[in-house]
Amino acid sequence: MIGIVLGTRPEIIKMSPVIRECARRNLDYFVLHTGQHYSYEMDRLFFEELDLPEPHHNLDVGSGTHAEQTARIMTGVEKVLAKEAPDVILVQGDTNTVVAGALAASKLHTRVGHIEAGLRSFNRWMPEEINRILTDHMSDYLFAPTEKARENLLKEGIDDKKICVTGNTVVDAIYQNLDISRKKVNVLKNLDLKPKEYFLVTAHRQENVDNRARLKDIISGLESIQQEFSMPVIFPVHPRTARRIDEFGIGHDGIQLTKPFGFLEFLQLEAQARIVLTDSGGVQEEACVLGVPCATMRYDTERPETIDVGSNILVGTESARILEGVRSAATWENCWKNPYGDGIAGKMIVLVCAAARSG
Q: What is the pLDDT of residues 152-175, one digit of tens each?
A: 999 999 999 999 999 999 999 999
Please state the length of the chain: 359
Confidence of residue 239 (pLDDT cuts 50, 70, 90): confident
Q: What is residue 294's predicted lDDT score, i.e. its pLDDT? A: 98
Q: What is residue 65's predicted lDDT score, i.e. its pLDDT? A: 86
The 10s digit of each residue's pLDDT in 176-224 is 988 889 888 899 999 999 999 999 999 988 899 999 999 999 999 999 9
Q: Does residue 82 register a pLDDT over 90?
A: yes
The 10s digit of each residue's pLDDT in 49-75 is 888 999 999 998 877 888 999 999 999
Contact yes or no for 121/148 (Cβ under 8 A): no
Please provide the distance, in angstroms rounded to a whole number, between the alpha carbons at the two ends of the chain: 12
> Rounded CA gap, 194 and 206, in Å?
32
Q: Does residue 322 register a pLDDT over 90?
A: yes
Q: Does residue 323 register a pLDDT over 60?
A: yes
Rg (CA), the chain: 20
Please list, in sequence order, all residues whose beta carbon lies within 8 angstroms of the beta carbon of residue 333, skipping any fewer than 6 positions away.
Answer: none
> Rounded CA gap, 249 and 296, in Å?
24
Mean predicted lDDT score pLDDT of the chain? 94
**Which of 33, 37, 114, 204 is flagged as catalytic?**
204
Q: What is residue 39's predicted lDDT score, i.e. its pLDDT? A: 59
312 vs 239: which has the higher pLDDT: 312
Q: Report CA-CA distances (Å) from 70 to 32, 65, 86, 153, 221.
A: 15, 8, 21, 24, 35
Q: Does residue 25 register a pLDDT over 80?
A: yes
> Rounded CA gap, 230 and 223, in Å?
10
Please list, in sequence order, all residues whose beta carbon lies within 8 angstroms of the beta carbon of residue 278, skipping any fewer than 6 positions away.
Answer: 201, 202, 203, 284, 287, 294, 295, 296, 297
Q: Which domains does the chain have, with CATH numbers?
A: 2-168+342-358 (3.40.50.2000), 186-329 (3.40.50.2000)
pTM of the predicted model as reported, rounded to 2 decimal places:
0.88
Q: What is residue 262's predicted lDDT score, i.e. its pLDDT? A: 84
C-alpha 232: how far from chain center: 25
Contact yes or no for 145/345 (Cβ under 8 A): yes
Q: What is residue 53's predicted lDDT score, i.e. its pLDDT? A: 93
Q: What is residue 252's predicted lDDT score, i.e. its pLDDT? A: 94
Confidence of residue 277 (pLDDT cuts 50, 70, 90): very high
Contact yes or no for 85/31 (Cβ under 8 A): no
Please list, in sequence order, all residues whose beta carbon lies within 8 angstroms of the beta carbon of residue 22, skipping any fewer than 6 positions away.
Answer: 2, 4, 29, 350
Q: What is residue 182's predicted lDDT score, i.e. its pLDDT? A: 86
Q: What is residue 189's predicted lDDT score, i.e. its pLDDT? A: 94
> Rounded CA gap, 231 and 255, in Å?
10
Q: Does residue 40 register a pLDDT over 60?
A: no
| Residue 141 phi, psi (nearest 5) | -130, 120
Q: Does residue 38 register a pLDDT over 70?
A: no
Q: Report CA-CA distances (Å) from 173 to 7, 72, 182, 228.
A: 17, 29, 14, 34
The 10s digit of each residue's pLDDT in 93-108 is 999 999 999 999 999 9
**Is 204 a known active-site residue?**
yes
Q: What is residue 217's predicted lDDT score, i.e. its pLDDT? A: 97
Confidence of residue 359 (pLDDT cuts 50, 70, 90): low
Q: Does residue 350 register a pLDDT over 80?
A: yes
Q: What is residue 288's predicted lDDT score, i.e. its pLDDT? A: 97
Q: What is residue 45's predicted lDDT score, i.e. its pLDDT? A: 77
Q: What is residue 357's predicted lDDT score, i.e. its pLDDT? A: 61
Q: Does residue 121 register a pLDDT over 70?
A: yes
What one-character DSSP code corresponds to residue 291?
Answer: T
